[in-house]
Structures are given as structure tokens and as C-alpha cells.
Structure 1
């Protein structure tokens, strides 16, 4: 009893605080009171929460239900005994739950059953699972149903996650600088840990649990070896303890050369027995502190990072050595396939496939290869990565970027759900037509997963803007179910974050927003036209960097005759890395999707497009369309004044003003450059850029976030 009261006291301390102003801190877990009639119906169906287990996730589930339902109904909902309207939660270890004979087989430890039932003549709602974390996920599902205005009196839900590893990758450094972070400093205050546990750590874990995220890589893939020292492992141990009740395991990014830098060895050769022994001892040390430690994320032999290639070894040999160290503890290695080495390939889009596809089937069973959604680098639009479907004997997990390094940072409204859905639903045609990227991720019989580069920081709204929260939310939902639809996810997020009555107008803004960014930055398959280093603002003219593939001119190849990168068999033949049916379709400019035309083809400025316009006129039209979409979003948001709390409404309005100005900047700079390069006049009726090209070339933004140090 004392243990139970201790947990309830802790939960009340965390969750029963006075109401705060609407600043976005509460994310999609605001639990604002429902309209009176709906609140009455929910209150009648949710009179109390009953449990008879003390496992931490079950206790957390009870506390969340009490907090959420009390806020949503405007009346107290407490722990209690079974009566009409009770919510009964627990696992099969509970005799009460076991006696119900619910269909829990096949749901694993994270699945759950959510069902309206009668127990002892009383109408109740049951949340049941095989393990405590499943109960927690079921509790959050029930709260989502209530928040989005759906009835809870006839529930019959059986659900489980489709992917095992649903992980946020934090690109956070020990000094709290976040690479490509646009929401303040790192959440992890290493200097104060383990002595001070910021309450935000619990709030972060709770938010992740609410959308099914079950892992966090705490540090940057460009890893500091210091993370493996005892001083840092003590701090990691503290975070692991805070996250554990919420079903979240911690992982670490590791530097491949750590045996040299913190281990005192003279080599990091993965085939050297001394190196393997060092990693085994380090894995043992970590698991002695953190028994449920998830494993390692590795960026190796890429962008100057050390790796097995330094010793003439393959990625598989490097990954398998680490996997052997972790295997006794059930740990995994997530080995990134984002590679471009010191040598200069003919086409950077081909390098990951060239290095990894020949290694199919050579990775250990506890290795999963982490592949970006596209073959370049998180561009606003890319084709899906050719490795998906090309490594049938190797588990692959998709890596997406939740933080918007290439989509306008935090100030541009760009909902990324449609972008990820586009990749996940792409047909790989491997081994057969209809095999989507989502199907590849769900490869039976091995590890499965999805990773997202986190966008959270110390800003009060967590993500740098109110609408960027939607991308964190959408990542969790799509990692749970890769076939989930972006519009349905947006609708749930909007209802929970802004209120059910605002879902329609908010979703109407969100769904076209990513396409707007594509249009005003890089339409028709253009890519990587950003200014140097920080990727803030346009730089299609940049041609003076040390490597050819660091320069935007390398990617667009615009000249007097045309524009676009020839990746057909006549060019780099990157299209040949896809299944033959796609290679044929995309390799022909007449059948390639126009949204990817300039990704795969160098075509004439006078090419006739499906709209009837020339390519030049179509390109300019897309730039104008992007700016117009942002202007429409401004009007839509302005119309919601008075329906949204003033603080959040004002913030979004100001950010949309920034976005409008920067969209115009992108449009004007790119049109000015391509007009001069092509030697073509602007199409009739097009408003010319506000300044000559040299004005845009002279713009410098050396202090833009994400520029590195």
C-alpha cells in the first residue's frame, strides 16, 4: 500500500499542477474540457479507473487516465472499485483480466485490447494487454478517442505496433548544442545530471509513450567518445530510469574509434580481437548499469567519421563486431546507410546502394540497417531509397528527419506526414508489384523499425513552433503503423492540439503545406539548392566548394540548353538501382512523374509539360504556386482569430509572416538565377524578382542555426 501511495503522490505532483497558459507545452495532451453534452456522456462511461497491479507502466496508465478524463469531463475521475462506467486496466497476470478470455495471443508485449464489456452486470471499459507497457498504450488510445470526439460506449479495438523499434534519434552534443536543432538547447542537461532530474524528462517520455515511441538515441550520430565514459554512463543511467515506466529504452550513438580515444588501444579494426574484447567489456559495463539498454546507433565511414573502411573492412564486419558484444544482453546495432566517403563518386545518390546492397545477408541477426527515406539527404522531395526492396535478407529501418533541416526550419509550416506517406506507400516492385516500402520495413522474421531525427529542445513549445509538434506526433503514429494515412493523423493531432471544432480548417492548412515548400524551394525534382553549411535560404549558384557534390550546381546542372541531373542509363544510371519496371518508367522523361522529372533527367527548357506549358514556364509557375499557398495559409489562419487562444494564434501568425517572406526570397532568387542561366525571359504576366541576381548572391546569413561550429 505504501508503494502504491508513493506512486500516486508522484503522479499528482507531476500532473495535478495549476493550469498553465496556452504556450504549447502540453502538446496534444492538453485534456481541455469537452463541450457539455459530450463531457456528460464521457463522465457517465468513465467513472473511475481500476487496477490491481503495481507495475510502473500500469500505474502510469492509471494516472494518465485520471488526469486526462478529469480534464476532459470537468469533474474528478479517481481510482476506485468496479461499478458502472469503471475503466478496468491490467495484464494477463491479473486474475480479473485473465478471466475475461480476451484475444491477446499474437499481440506481443506492446499490443492491447480495448473493449466495452459487462463484468458482474456492470458496464465497464477494459484495457488489457500481455505486458504493462501494452496497458499504457491502450490508455493513451482511449484518451485519444475521447479527445477527438468519438464515442467510447461500444469499443472493440485490438491493436499492436507493426514495427518493433520506434526510435527518436537526438543529434544532441554533450555541451547541449543540437546539430540541425531549431528548438533551443538539448533537453539533456548533462552538467546537472544525475543529481537534478528535470521534470521535462518525464514529460518528454510521457509524450513519446502517447504515440508509441519506445526508444531514444540520446546523442548525436557524429558521436563524442566521451559518451562511453563512466561519468556519462552514470547520467545515461538516470535518464533510463526516468524513461522506463513509459516503455522507452535508451540507446547511444557510438564513435567507431572509441577503443582508441577512450580505451587506450592503438586500433579500432573490427577484426582485431583486442578491439572486440574492448567492446564486449563496454557492453557488459553498460548493461550492468542499464539492464534494458537498447543498443548502439552507428555512423561510420561517412562524412569523415571513422569506421571499418579505415581498415579495409566492410560495413557488415564493423556492425557484426558490435552486434556480438551486445547480443548476450539482447541489444541491437542500428547501422546507418548514409554514406559518402572521401572519394568522389559519379553520383552521390548511388553510393549507399553500391556499398550496402552487395552485403545483403551478411549482417548479424541483431543488426538493422538504417536507411534514409531517399537516396540523397532528407530533401523536400526525393524518390524512395533504392535499397528498399534490394536487400531482402537484411532488416532495414527507415530514417526520416522530423527536424526540418531542409524544409525551412521551425518557422515554416510544413507538415511532413504526406512526405513520409509518399515514401512508405511507394511500390518497390521487389520482389513483386505491390510490395511497398512499408512492406519492406515489416520484413517478417527479423528486426523491424523506423527512426526519426528528433525536433525537440528546450523551447516551451518543445519543437520550435506549434505546428512542428505535428511532425513529432506523425512520426510516432507512422512508426506504429506505416500504413497510417497522413490526413487522418493530422485530423487527430489538430483535434487534440487545437480542439475538435478546429480540426477541419487546421487540416486544410496542413495537408498542402509540404508541397508548398517543394514548390517555392525546389519544384519538379530539383534538390539540394541550399546555401552552404546551414541550409538556410537559396544558393543555386554555389559552385566553389571543395567537393563537386557539395555544390548546388552539381545537382541541377542548369545551362543554356536545359536543366536537371541525368540519372538515366545515358548518365549516371542511378535509375538502374531500382526494379526494372521502375527503371524503365522513371528512365523515360515521357513516363517519369513530373514531380521527379529533374531528379532523373536533364531536359530542355522548351520541353512541353503536361500542363501545356514549357518546362521554363512550368518551373516559374510552381514557384509562384508555392508562394500563393503560403499566402492562403496566412488568410486561413487569420480567419481563426478568436477561436484560438491569443498566445498560440499570435505565434503562428508571426511565423507565417516569416514563411511568406522567405518563400518569396526563394522564389525570386531561384527565378533570377535560372532566368540568367537559361537566357530566357520571364513568361508573360509573371512578376519579376524584386532585385537583380547579384543582390541575392550577396545575401549572407552566417549565424543561421544549424551552421555548425
Structure 2
């Protein structure tokens, strides 16, 4: 055997062993995510074993079966015992699971019924002392979906070693449609994907149904995600052809018992590319009929198909404006095709003209606000959290609160396109919550973004949230072990946008790594600070869009002379000898006027504008005095340098956890933190040197000089960056 073949053979055997180990408890590879049911400590296990030996759990559907299987898997892993399922006629156990229609009537069920919210996905976990003195725990759902979510919540309580007698939960989702958007292509590449190739093996579907698809569904159901868009928003029309619909139907069959519907990104020009029509004009009767026929065909393959996600007239994608029509014309045409079947259209508001606007941040507002109230009842406008493009920090999008007669949904990015990819440890729960809790003042104080999208503020009947997925074929699903926390946090916040990001982070840590108090005390603050750390060494003080060209990896504040000015960095930071920052007040682009007066008042005056957004809204001189007393230049430098120091502190915190987590996970995180430190230094040195040529001011005393001159950093070029 020659050496190259031998090396490949050894690598293959090693990979097979890692996968085998991850399925057999030998090693914690990360494959099992937060559902890795490792044995509990003796005290907690003994507390549960006596009360959970047998379960009353009537089986009425496929979803009931998967819920019971999950409960059995969890109890076997956590306690070392599988439950015995009793018939509903002889409830002699301390755990009952079901719906009001499947469980036998008793005091516990009757009490819990009165507490169930009016929502098919709602559940109650209720502890009750029975008349015979025996304690009873009840998981009651309105439907089998509620039962499934209740079972996962109960398992989470066991993983946290909670006292059964104190578990008392009533839960109902505030958002109706809670989706992952997969930017996956039919060739299995993933746009902005940093965790391997696409999960969907289109070539072997529908014949081979990878067990990973079921594990994906389990993970999503465990955090309440109930929808998945299978393909890229930069859609390929082939996705709507019969062979691919058959493949999508196979995935829908796997996902259905877990309460998950399948959606597809639709290419607006499909009537031309697939139907041979002369145009895709939404007011052309031939076009509307083509889409009506296509919708009927899709529902024959997938009876519970969720609907279409559409990116139109943005970044070169076709859309209704190609024919002089509006976004409402295009969205309503598709909505009419789906309406007979109950489907929805999620129409993305990430748009900007082919000609350069005076400020990219204003574009979506300018195009959509005029259309408020003109969209069909089954159209939802999908709005990114900020007006530019998933930057490390952005103010909330001005459309939230500005379209009271339309249904708006949130679009977050879970994959870390602008936050260091899967090499950086960044907990995004804090970013998500920062946006959700921002006050739009659309209807006075406390008109938060969360209240806009959960329907409370404007009484919209269909509510939704989307997250651009960070999953792939990596053994641990997300590339970085801590990237799993962002998938988890997104699901939890989609269920309840007002949930506490810190509580969610702690819950993920406990369910993933266990309940060691010293570990939790060390890692929770690290996670909660991690996003601010990255903002500091990438885009402090409201700077944005400083990344490398096209692939978006690494620093590129010098990017200029591209096909569009708003695809460059210099367009956004506008650094010159007079100062730095983008003036979005009335003296500049006036983008600030798109917000309510109360919001404008927060940001309009640079003396009171929060430092986090200072250079987003203002172009200021280098010697502008900050609230700290430092000059703007000094403050900018200190943020860049503190970001690097904070990564070093993260490394020290993680190193102290050696022996508390599995060695495979420990080494992977340690190595990635070392990579992150190198990248943080790169960002710091490149940006400080670049901006110094305009400020003409020295790096503050006590801070080390960059290792190389600016020309070195500008000359760096990265080949084959993933996700590009």
C-alpha cells in the first residue's frame, strides 16, 4: 500500500471510530448536541429513578411515539433505566404524559387543563399530590405537538437536576412560525456555511434517508423550531421540479412527526426557466396560472407544505421590479397561488436598487413603507435585524414599527458570516435579545421589536421568526462546539422573544456539559461577554462593514473600487483626515429620520449617543471627546486592544476547565480559541494602522505596536474561504 493511500485509510478509520464513539458514549464528539444524555450524579439519579420507573403515556400518533422514544432515550442515558409504559387504565406511576383527550380523567389532569393556554403547541408540566399520597408529575399538551415540546422541556429539567416537586411550567409559543433558513445549494455547498457541506444529500434522496435527518429534527423540536426552508434564498429553479420535490417530500416525511414543516425558496423567474414563458410578470395571467399549477403540484408531494421564501430584486436576483411591478404585486401573486392550501409567502425586505442609493441603510424602508397595508393576509415581510447586513452590531431595522398594517417577521443570522465564522466563540443570544428588546416607540414606550413580531403590538394573525442556519456535515453540526449554543438560543428566543439570554446560555451549558458549579460560574460570564469581545476587535464604536472582500473573512477597511460603492468598506467608515464615521443625521443621509422621534433623540446628538452606535450615526473628528474623557482616536484604539486582551482572558478561563469536559471537546475549543486570538490580533493591527494614517495620531502609550506595517496586512489574500 503506497503512503498516500495508507494515510487516507488511516484517516478514514479514525473518522469512523470518532463517529462510532460519538454514538456509543466513548467520546463526546459534539454530535449529540445538548441532547447528549450523560448519566446524572448519584443523588439526582436516585431522586428520579423511584418516581420515573413507569410512565402512563397513551400512543395516539407518530408524534406520540417519537416523544415516548425521546423520553425513554433520556431516562436510559440520565438514569440508566428505561421506563415501563403502563396503560392509561391503570395509572400507578408518578409520571403521566398525554393530552386531555388521551389521558384518564383525574384531579391532576383536570387541574392542568385549566392552565393550558389556547394554543395547539402549548403544554403544562404540573406536580400533583394524589389522593393516595403518591406524588404525580403530569406533562399535558393540547395536542401531540404540545406533548412533544413538554417532553423535551421535562428532559431539560432532568438534565438540570431540578427537584420534581418544584417543576411547574406553563408554556406556549409567542411566535407561530419558527424557522431555520438553510442557504444550501443543490450541489451541497452552503452559502455562508462554515460547518461542512449541506445536510441534504440530494443525490441519494429520496432513496437513502440519512439517520442524521432524524437527529436534526430531534434537535429542532427540542427547542421548538417548527419549520425549515431547505434551499438557498439565491434559489435554483430546479428545486421546484418533480425530482427535487420528491426529495423534499422525503425530508418532510421524516420531519413531520417532530412538528416541522418544509418550506422552499422560490426563484421568481421559474416560469421562464421551467415553464418556457416569455416573462415572469406577476400581472401576466399565464404567469399566475403557472404558479397556481406549481403550488398544486407541490402540495400533491407535500400535503403540509409551509410555503415560499422569496429573495427578489436584490443582489441581482429576479423579481417583480424587472417588469415595473412592486414587491406587493410579486408577493401577492405567489400568496394567491398558495392560499387554497394554507401556505404562506415570506418576502424578504433585504433589497437595494441596482443604482447606488445615497445610503444603503435607507433602502428597504424607502421601498416597503409605501406598500404598508397592500400585502395579502398570508404574506409576511421578512426583515433582517438591522438595515445593512447582519453586522456584528447594528441598530434595529427601522421597518420594525413602521408598517403597522403589514405582517413583519424577524430574520437573524445564526451562522457567523460577519463574526469570525466557526473559528470564533461568539454567543449570539445577547445580539438577538439586544434587537428584540429595542424599543421602536411605534405606539409609545415599550413598543419593543419583540412586541412587533409576536403580533401583540399590531394584532397580526401570522407571526414568524427566521434564523439563517449554521448547521452542516461537521461531526458537531456547527463547526465550533459553542456554535451549537446559537442554534439553541435562536430556537428558545423564537419560542419566547422575551426570554433571558443569560438563562438560555446557562441552560445550554448545563444540558451540554453538566451541572458542575465551578464550570458554570466560569463559562457563563465568558459566553455573555463574547459577542462584545468580538465587536471590540472588529467593529467598535458603531463601525461596520470592515471585512474582507466577497468572502468576508478577516479585516478589510481599505476595500474600495468595487462594482458598487456600497460593497466597499470605505463607503461605510468614511475615514479621512477630518474624522471617521457615517453621518446619518439630518446633516448627512438623514437615515435617522426613519425612526420614531424618541429613537432619534437617543442617537441624534453625539454627546449623548451611546458609544456602541456613535460612528454608525455620526462622522466625528479624531479628537472628539468621548464620555470617558479620551479622544475618539484613543477610545477606538483601546477598544481594538481590549478585544484582543479579552480573547486572551477567554483562553485562560477555558484552560482552567481541563478535566471538566471531554478531552476531544476541550482540545477543539482550546485550538479554536488560539485561532481566534490570532484573528483578533490581525483585526486589531490592520484596522488601527489603517485608521492611523488618517488620524495621524500615535497609538496610546502602553499599547504594543503592530508587528507589521500596514502594507503587509493589505497584501494578505485568502484562498478558498468556506461559505463563499
TM-score when normalising by structure 2: 0.94
**Quick one: distance in 2 between partners of 1:661 and 1:114?**
47
5+ residue gaps, structure 2: 1-19
Kept after mapping to 2: 8 A contact 1:15/1:67 = no
CA contact (8 A) 2:27 2:662 kept: no
2:234 paired residue number = 222
- Given that residues 202 and 242 in structure 1 are in contact (C-alpha distance below 8 angstroms), is that contact kept between their aligned partners in structure 2? yes
- Residue 632 (1) aligns with residue 635 (2): no
Counterpart Cα distance in 2 of 1:573 and 1:16: 54
Secondary structure of the residue aligned to 2:170 is strand
Selected match of 2:301 from 284, 289, 293: 289
Map residues 264-303 of structure 1 onto 2, 5 A cutoff.
Answer: 264-303=276-315
> What residue ranges of structure 1 are gaps of 5+ in the alignment?
1-13
Mapped to 2, the partners of 1:564 and 1:78 lie a distance apart of 65
Judge conservation of contact 2:407–2:460 (CA < 8 Å) in 1.
no
Whether contact under 8 Å (2:97, 2:103) holds in the other structure is no
Structure 1 residue aligned with 2:507:
492
Q: Counterpart in 2 of 1:10?
A: none
What's 1:69 paired with?
75
Q: Is the 8 A contact 1:22 1:645 kept in 2?
A: yes
Q: Does 1:551 align with 2:568?
A: yes
Deviations 1:110-162 (A, max 9, x none): 00111112557343221111211110000000011111121122433211000
CA RMSD of aligned residues (A): 1.6
Whether the 8 Å CA contact 1:323–1:366 is kept in 2: the answer is yes
How far off is 1:643 after superposition?
1.0
Q: Is the 8 A contact 1:338 1:372 kept in 2?
A: yes
Aligned residues: 694
Query: In the TM superposition, what are the counterparts of 1:373-392 in structure 2 within 5 Å?
Result: 373-392=385-404
Structure-1 separation of matches of 2:222 and 2:594: 38
Which residue of 2 is the match for residue 9 of structure 1? Answer: none
Say whether 1:524 aligns with 2:538.
Answer: no
SS at match of 2:33: coil
SS at 1:125's partner residue?
A: strand
Counterpart selection for 1:371 from 383, 395, 406: 383
Find the residue that maps to 2:593 and give its secondary structure.
helix
Q: How does 1:94-113 map onto structure 2 within 5 Å?
A: 94=102, 96=104, 100-101=109-110, 102-103=113-114, 106-113=117-124
Alignment of 1:221-370 (within 5 A): 221-370=233-382
Alignment equivalent of 1:201, drawn from 187, 208, 213: 213
Counterpart-to-counterpart distance in 1, 2:377 and 2:509: 40
After TM superposition, the structure 1 stretch with the greater mean CA deviation from structure 2, 507-516 or 470-479, is 507-516
Structure 2 residue 195 is the aligned partner of structure 1 residue 180: no
TM-score of the superposition, structure 1-length normalised?
Answer: 0.96
What CA distance in whole angstroms lies between the structure 1 residues aligned with 2:120 and 2:347? 25
Which residue of 1 is the match for residue 127 of structure 2?
A: 116
- Per the alignment, do residues 67 and 216 of structure 1 end up closer, same or farther by CA in structure 2, a change over 3 Å counting? same
Indicate yes or no: 2:618 matched with 1:597.
no
- Is the contact between residue 104 and residue 130 of structure 1 (CA under 8 Å) also seen in structure 2? no
CA contact 2:22–2:32 (8 Å) conserved in 1: no
Distance in 1 (CA, whole Å) between partners of 2:554 and 2:566 is: 18
Partner of 2:12: none
Once the two structures are superposed, residues 206-265 of structure 1 have per-residue CA deviations (whole angstroms, 9 ceiling, x without a partner) of 000000000000000000000000000000000000000100000000000001101111
Matched, 1:682 2:699: yes
Give the match for residue 481 of structure 1: 496
Q: Which runs of 4+ in 1 moved over 6 A?
A: 14-17
Contact 2:361–2:388 (Cα < 8 Å) also in 1: yes
Structure 1 445/599 Cα, relative in aligned 2: closer, same or farther at 3 Å?
closer
The 1:227–1:403 alpha-carbon spacing in structure 2 relative to 1, beyond 3 Å, is: same
**Alpha-carbon separation, structure 2, partners of 1:103 and 1:319:** 41
What is the CA distance between 1:267 and its match in structure 2?
1.1
Partner of 1:90: 98
Distance (whole Å) between structure 1 residues aligned to residue 348 and residue 115 of structure 2: 35
Matched, 1:136 2:148: yes
